[in-house]
Amino acid sequence: MNFAQALQYLEDLNVFGSQLGLTRIQQLMELLGRPQVQYRTIHVTGTNGKGSVTAMLAGILTQSGIRTGMYVSPHLLSYTERMQIDGQTISEQDFADSIAAARAAADKMVAGGAEQPTQFEILTAAAFWYFKQQSVEYAVIEVGLGGLLDSTNVITPEVSVITNVTMEHADRCGGTLAGIAHHKAGIIKAGVPVVTAAAGEPLKILQAAAAEKNTDIFIAGQDFSSSFVSFDGQAQHLEFSSGLLGAVKEPYDLQMLGAHQIENSALAVMTAQLLHNTDERITPETIALALAITSWPGRFERMDQGGQRIIIDGAHNPDGMRALRQSLDLYYPAQERVILLGILKDKDIHTMLETLLRPNDTVVVTAPNSERASDPAVVARQIRTQHVEVQPDPAEALSRALELANGERLLCAAGSLYLIGGIRQQLLNKKE
């Protein structure tokens, strides 16, 4: 199987849709020799921030001299982004070989009368298999959706990380905030410590699950925290502290921008501190070195061109928009803004718009590259700012947004990762 054939196979699997449940993935893992138990893992879920925390943790482990796999979703441009080792994406041929291995196991399952595994199950099985072939010591695994019935939930990690719990994918996770929290709590394993930034009712549910599993839970804002010190135009200067670890405050720089990344980095540091208890290679020095260089594409990412300041951010729900707005107000409080927006139709569009936009913002609305894209004209009619334009084609929308910003106003693109991936590539192409 070559890369093109692997992509076609994955595309053909779309007909089976997304089906939560562990029966198929467990069968796949057995047929593949249970590769996921051959290395240590960290499991990361949450409504927002799980990709950033996953990248930070993988960076910390790599910086500590540990061969580290990372599995994330979705991708911005290529499926190869989903599987990485020490910051390097899987090659196209290794990706094809991994999919071929998962397909062979799936074909054997189907021949035996089992259900056909879904696309995400094949990808997850391929990632676990690939990490075993590459002899990683650790793998940081990001949950795809929820936690309890997610395909990644076939591991027993060293630490479970639950970033936060808000309303997202409620239709797949019980329909309520409590239902979503129960799904996130599903990654909690007996005796495996939990690190979380959840609050309110979701936190109570996580605490109850941790107590039931007889495991410790470490809570952001109570047991540990990071605070903002300053911003030098390139990096955030932060300080981590935890009463559980003593009175010492650990300063560090964070390349990832965004007010929300302060809390995300605190989760990563606390998790790394717990890992240090069983692996002395992980130290405050390697943690600081990693956070100073770790980046995560499409998450409050600076992509300036010449004199034009540009931010792209994958905010795609109300809480993501809230974090984006806070970050824009923190770093660029007085600067006029041009906002390039593309939102999926199954999102809470009204709340997202009300959260992000200021009355004097200029807005260009476009369509993300997805069958679920909302009609830009419909979105535009809900916007109450001084100037709104509709440009359905994302490439032309970017050109128009750059024209409106004209090097004098901040340009920010947001609303969906399906939009951000293409915008990011267009900006990279302009630099070549």
Of 98-102, 127-131, 231-235, which gets the smallest average pLDDT? 231-235
Q: Looking at residues 338-363, what average pLDDT do you find?
A: 95
Average pLDDT, the chain: 93
Residue 98 has pLDDT above 60, yes or no: yes
pTM above 0.85, yes or no: yes
Fold of 301-431: Protein-Tyrosine Phosphatase; Chain A (3.90.190)
Place of tokens 């409590």: 178
Beta bridge partners of 238: 228, 252
Categorize the per-residue pLDDT at 173 as very low, low, confident or very high, splitting at 50, 70 and 90.
Answer: low
Q: Are 195 and 277 in contact (CB under 8 A)?
A: no
Dihedral in degrees, nearest 10, Cα atoms 80, 75, 171, 318? 160
Domain boundaries, the chain: 3-293, 301-431
Residue 269 has pLDDT above 90, yes or no: yes
Helix (H, G, I), strand (E, B) or coil at 281: coil
Of 117-121, 165-169, 205-209, 302-306, which gets the smallest average pLDDT? 165-169
Tell me the residue ranges of DSSP E strands in 169-317: 194-196, 217-219, 225-231, 236-241, 250-254, 301-302, 310-312
Cα separation of 34 and 30, whole Å? 5
Q: Looking at residues 279-298, what average pLDDT do you find?
A: 95
Q: Looking at residues 239-257, what average pLDDT do you find?
A: 90
Categorize the per-residue pLDDT at 432 as very low, low, confident or very high, splitting at 50, 70 and 90.
Answer: low
10 Å Cβ neighbour count for 350?
A: 11
Residue 170 has pLDDT above 50, yes or no: no
Please name which of 302, 301, 274 lies closest in space to residue 287, comparing C-alpha atoms: 274
Specify the CATH class of 3-293 in words.
alpha beta
